Structure 1
Amino acid sequence: MGQVELVGPVDEAVGYVLKQAATALRAAMDVALRPLELTVPQYSCLELLGQRSGLSGAELARGTFVTRQSMNLVLQGLQQRGLLTRPTTPDHGKALPTELTAAGRRQLKAASVAVRAVEKQMLTSLSAGAQRRLRADLARCVAALNDNRTPPNSR
């Protein structure tokens, strides 16, 4: 029987440090978005719509890492504020394509500037090359986990 590997000290575990980074990033984004009266999921929704207009609620939920139910609340709140529009009935199928209003585009621009400032602060100690490597390394980590969702010890 093979040697069993344990995680070891949490402060040396990559997953733990990733979670710390994600938590710190989320907290800094919350602070940056608060003056704009936006939450991180609301901002993420606006950003996705700014880049890919017409996404459905389900697509937005997947893209912002929230449940469909949570996304419905996000969309309702943004729609009530006049930041996006959705038809009351779908043109075809069940999906309701969502689009930013002019006010939504203005709010997105301000929020995107605020979030980019947070990201720049987070990356300030990394060179441009180190930032590219970090993005590439993290993308490879995601791919490795997405490519093979079967736990290593059950193969």
Structure 2
Amino acid sequence: MSQGETVGPLGESAGYALKQAASALRAAMDAVLRPLDLTVPQYACLELLERRPGLSSAELARGAFVTRQATHGVLRGLAERGLVTRAPSAPHGRALPVELTDAGREALRAASTAVRAVERRMLAPLGAERERRLREDLAACAAALAEPAP
């Protein structure tokens, strides 16, 4: 792309199509999580904690794609509902590890099932090979943007 070139028609922009897909996915996830009294960031934190118990709020923020400040509110809401616990003191440094409770695991099972159904609906038109290719292509796009710009 030359320095003066613009995005052009939005219908031909991969970035715009990606944003549309991300927005549609978020809306569908919101819809299935709302009856479970969970938000997408809360769900993301539960999934992360299931896979990596003891993450700090900063690590959860990075994994859930929210700010550290937003994570504080997310964790407070989850803790008030008894879905997570925070250690009373940090084993090292200042980071207080967070873990799922039994109620948190139960809520996660329901939420994960609902979100998986959304993902299956989203990917149904693709078939297995195109789904695999999509994952690889999206990972390559993310990796390209993680590198410093030339």
Structure 1 ranges of 4+ moved more than 3 A: none
Identity rate of aligned residues, in percent? 64
Structure 1's unaligned 5+ residue stretches are: none
Matches within 5 A, 1:88-127: 88-127=88-127
SS of structure 1 residue aligned to 2:5: coil
The alignment's TM-score, normalised by the length of structure 2, stands at: 0.96
Structure 2's unaligned 5+ residue stretches are: none
What do residues 16-55 of structure 1 show as CA deviations (whole Å, max 9, x unaligned)? 0000000000000000001100000000000000111110
Distance 1:22 1:11 in 2: 16
When the two chains are superposed, the root-mean-square deviation of aligned CA atoms in Å is: 1.1
Match of 1:52 in 2: 52
Deviation at 1:3, TM superposition (A): 7.3
The alignment's TM-score, normalised by the length of structure 1, stands at: 0.93
- 2:38 is equivalent to residue 34 of structure 1: no
Which AA in structure 2 matches 1:74? V
Match of 1:22 in 2: 22
Distance 1:79 1:9 in 2: 46
- 2:56 is equivalent to residue 70 of structure 1: no
Which AA in structure 2 matches 1:139? A
Deviation at 1:12, TM superposition (A): 1.0
Distance 2:139 2:75 in 1: 28
What do residues 54-83 of structure 1 show as CA deviations (whole Å, max 9, x unaligned)? 100000000001010100000011001000
